[in-house]
């Protein structure tokens, strides 16, 4: 068999299960998944290696109406993925049939193949699935429509086969031995902490917070990591810390557990909360936080 390689870019609205799908396909929890919308903020490449192929998946932020400059940067990251793909996977969820005219016409106008994936089929019955398939077929006319469940790993083997059918014959783009992502350990550490924040705090807090790793000292036994948690206002800092620091302590404990599982050794994590006034609309800070 000839070797196939290519870039498969995954787009869709917030919360439809894009990151769940990427993680399930590569068999590793790289991308943060939570029940809250707008979990993913950056484009993340996740690489699936096999003797006969290499697929470079890109997980992306959900497409929504921007309320802050932060969202505009997130959408820029989605925009890139329309143009540098060999294949685009548009992910929807079974019970949502809405799409903006602008996005629909962009998807119809792609010059690479488009698959529409109807995720979360476990949430409805056969007739709902059939109706959704017909709807997306009429609207977007993709080369393939596949109902599946990322959470229950249902139909993912079929998806993989269809992807390989359309990928070009090409050598691997990334070293197969040691690369599963284009992102650094530091990036994943900050994402893991943001994931715990999304779970542990309510309302606007997770959306007002950015996490940066300021120092990462590796040693064979233990990694020592200094982390800044940036929030948009003074009142949020108090909530992040909690009564006598109880909330931040809980955040630290849970983050450490997950980071240790990720790096495969002990970790010492120092969390500091800092107010970065309205960082979501501050070009300089957005740049520092990696939104180019």
Ligand X SMILES: Nc1nc2c(ncn2[C@@H]2O[C@H](COP(=O)(O)OP(=O)(O)OP(=O)(O)O)[C@@H](O)[C@H]2O)c(=O)[nH]1
Shortest approach of ligand X to residue 93 CB, angstroms?
8
Single residue of 4, 18, 45, 230 touching ligand X by CB under 6 A: 18
Quick check: 149 binds Mg ion (CB under 5 A)?
Answer: no
Shortest approach of ligand X to residue 147 CB, angstroms?
10
Rg of the chain over CA atoms, in angstroms? 20
Shortest approach of ligand X to residue 190 CB, angstroms?
15
Query: Per CB under 6 A, which region of 9-17, 45-53, 66-74, 165-173 contacts ligand X?
Result: 9-17
Q: Residues 3 to 62: which contact Mg ion by CB under 5 A?
A: 18-19, 39-40
Quick check: 151 binds ligand X (CB under 6 A)?
Answer: yes
Single residue of 4, 7, 19, 212 touching ligand X by CB under 6 A: 19
Residues 6+ apart with CB under 8 A from 1: 52
Binding mask 156-195 for ligand X (x = CB under 6 A): ----------------------------------------
Query: Per CB under 6 A, which region of 38-46, 161-169, 187-195, 243-251 contacts ligand X?
Result: 38-46
Residues 6+ apart with CB under 8 A from 227: 189, 190, 193, 211, 212, 213, 214, 269, 270, 271, 272
For residues 254 and 258, what is the distance between their CA atoms, to the nearest angstrom? Answer: 6
Shortest approach of Mg ion to residue 40 CB, angstroms?
3
The edge-to-edge listing of strands for the beta sheet with 4-12 is: 44-50, 53-59, 4-12, 87-93, 114-119, 144-147
Number of residues in contact with Mg ion under rule CB under 5 A: 4
How do strand 210-217 and strand 144-147 relate by DSSP bridges? unpaired
From Mg ion, ligand X, none, interface partner of 34 (C-beta below 5 to 8 A by class): ligand X
Shortest approach of ligand X to residue 32 CB, angstroms?
7
Q: Residues 62 to 81: which contact ligand X by CB under 6 A?
A: 62
Quick check: 20 binds ligand X (CB under 6 A)?
Answer: yes
Shortest approach of ligand X to residue 73 CB, angstroms?
15
Check residue 213 and give left, alpha or beta (phi > 0: left; psi -120 to 50: alpha): beta
Decide whether 40 or 236 has the Cβ nearer to ligand X: 40
Decide whether 12 or 252 has the Cβ nearer to ligand X: 12
Q: Residues 115 to 134: which contact Mg ion by CB under 5 A?
A: none
Angle ∠(179,85,18) on CA atoms, nearest 5 = 70
Decide whether 94 or 248 has the Cβ nearer to ligand X: 94
Q: Which residues pair with 144 in a beta bridge?
A: 115
From Mg ion, ligand X, none, interface partner of 6 (C-beta below 5 to 8 A by class): none
Residues that bind Mg ion (CB under 5 A): 18-19, 39-40
Residues that bind ligand X (CB under 6 A): 12, 14-20, 33-35, 37-40, 61-62, 119-120, 122-123, 149-152
């Amino acid at each position: 068999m000839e070797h196939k390689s290519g870039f498969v870019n995954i787009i869709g609205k917030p919360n439809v299960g894009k990151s769940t799908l990427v993680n399930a396909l590569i068999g590793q929890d790289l991308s943060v998944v939570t029940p809250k919308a707008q979990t993913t903020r950056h484009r993340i490449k996740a690489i699936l290696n096999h003797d006969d192929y290499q697929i470079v998946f890109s997980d992306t932020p959900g497409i929504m109406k921007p309320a802050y400059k932060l969202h505009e940067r997130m959408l820029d990251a989605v925009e890139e993925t329309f143009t540098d793909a060999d294949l685009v996977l548009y992910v929807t969820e079974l019970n949502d049939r809405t799409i903006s005219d602008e996005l629909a016409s962009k998807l119809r106008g792609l010059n690479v193949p488009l698959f529409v994936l109807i995720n979360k089929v476990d949430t409805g019955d056969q007739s709902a699935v059939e109706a959704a398939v017909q709807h997306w077929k009429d609207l977007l006319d993709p080369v393939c429509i596949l109902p599946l469940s990322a959470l229950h790993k249902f139909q993912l083997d079929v998806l993989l086969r269809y992807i390989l059918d359309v990928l070009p014959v090409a050598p691997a783009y990334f070293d197969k031995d040691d690369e599963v992502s284009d992102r650094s350990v530091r990036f994943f550490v900050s994402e893991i902490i943001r994931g715990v924040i999304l779970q542990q705090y309510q309302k606007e807090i997770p959306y007002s917070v950015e996490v940066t790793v300021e120092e990462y000292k590796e040693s064979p036994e233990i990694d020592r990591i200094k982390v800044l948690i940036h929030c948009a206002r003074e009142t949020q800092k108090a909530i992040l810390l909690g009564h006598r620091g109880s909330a931040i302590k809980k955040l630290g404990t849970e983050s450490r557990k997950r980071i240790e599982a990720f790096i495969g050794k002990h970790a010492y994590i120092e969390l500091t909360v800092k107010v970065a006034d309205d960082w979501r609309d501050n070009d300089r800070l957005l740049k520092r936080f990696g939104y180019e």
